[in-house]
Amino acid sequence: MVELYVNDIENALKNKSYFSALAMSLALPDICGAAEYPNETSTAKRYMGWYNKYLGEYMSYDRGNPYLSGEIVYNLRNTFLHAGSPNIDSNKIKDEANQLDRFMLILGDGTEMCTTLFIDTPIVKLRTMIVDVTYLCKTICDRSLWYYKNNTNKFHFDFSIDTQDHFLSGEGKLPSGDPIIEALNQKLEQSGDTRRFLESQDHTTVDVITGDFNYIFSNKELKQRCLNGEKIKLVRTTDTPVITSNTESTVKKESAPKKKTASPSKKKTKPDKREAQVRSFFGQHFKEKKYKQKKEIIIQAILKSKTKQQVNNALMKSFASEETGVIYKRLSPLLASLPGK
């Protein structure tokens, strides 16, 4: 992963995007410091510790004079990344030898340098450090890349990343399983909730995404529109999905043949009297958007339950306790005929 960051920095320097290169370069000691000192909670200690250990000797020729120490570079990192100022705050430099009156960055592709100028008169003294940004970026990149290649086992990047060309070529492999369901269950576990979402036996979220891309790339016109950067939005209905773009043109996607189920019962064509009553009641008493979005959950909780307690339990699976109470109370006229309290 560090190689990708270094490549981006090098490309930024080639294109004279000096501040972009500087920002990413100043973040590299953060990344490497976290790998070197995983148990250290202080960002400053991790940053300066790693920098002084692996970069300090490359930045100093005479330790008696100011040099690009870990303290100065960490100070620059804070002022630049947090306040947008490519400068340092000398008041926060504890090492007296590195306390500067002026810090100056040089932008350009000329001589890579780092030098300190002293003005010492009986009236006033001035210490100025002049640093070429290309020199600073390249030095940090070289040492960070060396460290990464020699300590790969210390890095644990958690990321999902791919190039657009590779991903849109159809060759990119999406992760297996259902990451959305997995993330939801992790949230439930962290909150102490014992309920869990179950993965669909027919397909996962990833299957749906894969199917959508396969469909788009099987059609030359849609594929070209996608590769040209046109936004293509998938809108799902109860029947067949429809592809819509920012040009408002639509393309209907053919439905995949439906799987036959083992159940011998046939799908009802008309709702029975009880279902019609429930749906009519819902339309009159649940007009809020949050309830309309979960209309079928509420309706099925009533239709499939034989007691009031079963209705309450069914609602609890999809709503918080307080919300379940509100819904249950509103449903009370419909539940009067059911046994229980």
Instruction: Give the residue, 269 or 320, on which the prediction is more confident.
Output: 320
Instruction: Give the residue, 70 or 125, on which the prediction is more confident.
Output: 70
Task: Kindly report each contact of residues 48-51 with a partner whose C-beta sits within 8 Å and lies 24 or more positions away, as own/partner.
Answer: 48/74, 50/147
Tens-place pLDDT, residues 285-323: 888 888 888 888 898 888 888 888 888 888 888 888 888
Please give the helix or strand (H or E) that residue 278 lies within, else none.
helix 273-285
Asked if pLDDT for residue 94 goes beyond 80, the answer is: no
Mean pLDDT throughout 124-129?
72
Q: How confident is the model at residue 100 (pLDDT cuts 50, 70, 90)?
A: low
- Please check whether residue 59 is in contact with residue 69, taking contact to mean a CB–CB distance below 8 angstroms: yes
Q: How far apart are CA 43 and CA 237, in angstroms?
A: 49
DSSP annotation of 87: S
How confident is the model at residue 176, as a pLDDT? 60
Longest dimension (CA), the chain: 103
How deeply is 231 buried, as exposed, middle or buried, from its count of CB atoms within 10 A (0-12, 13-18, 19+)?
Answer: exposed
How confident is the model at residue 24, as a pLDDT? 92
How confident is the model at residue 243, as a pLDDT? 46
Mean pLDDT throughout 151-174?
67
Instruction: Give the residue, 60 or 257, on which the prediction is more confident.
Output: 60
Give all strands of the β-sheet with 250-252 in edge-to-edge order.
Answer: 232-235, 242-245, 250-252
How confident is the model at residue 225, as a pLDDT? 78
How confident is the model at residue 242, as a pLDDT? 44
The percent of residues in the chain predicted with pLDDT above 70, rounded, is 68
Asked if pLDDT for residue 58 goes beyond 50, the answer is: yes
Q: How far apart are CA 130 and CA 105, in angstroms?
A: 6
pTM of the model: 0.51
How confident is the model at residue 28, as a pLDDT? 92
Tens-place pLDDT, residues 171-194: 656 556 666 777 778 888 888 888
On average, the pLDDT of the chain sits at 75
Asked if pLDDT for residue 252 goes beyond 80, the answer is: no
Asked if pLDDT for residue 132 goes beyond 50, the answer is: yes
How confident is the model at residue 22, as a pLDDT? 86
Instruction: Give the residue, 133 or 215, on which the prediction is more confident.
Output: 133
Asked if pLDDT for residue 245 goes beyond 50, the answer is: no
Q: How confident is the model at residue 164 (pLDDT cuts 50, 70, 90)?
A: low
Mean pLDDT throughout 150-172?
69
How confident is the model at residue 62, as a pLDDT? 52
Instruction: Give the residue, 237 or 196, on which the prediction is more confident.
Output: 196
Instruction: Give the residue, 237 or 323, on which the prediction is more confident.
Output: 323
Cross-strand bridge partners of residue 236: none
How confident is the model at residue 118, as a pLDDT? 55
- Please check whether residue 145 is in contact with residue 167, taking contact to mean a CB–CB distance below 8 angstroms: no
**Spatial CB neighbours of 188, under 8 Å, sequence gap ≥ 6:** 194, 195, 196, 197
Asked if pLDDT for residue 35 goes beyond 80, the answer is: yes
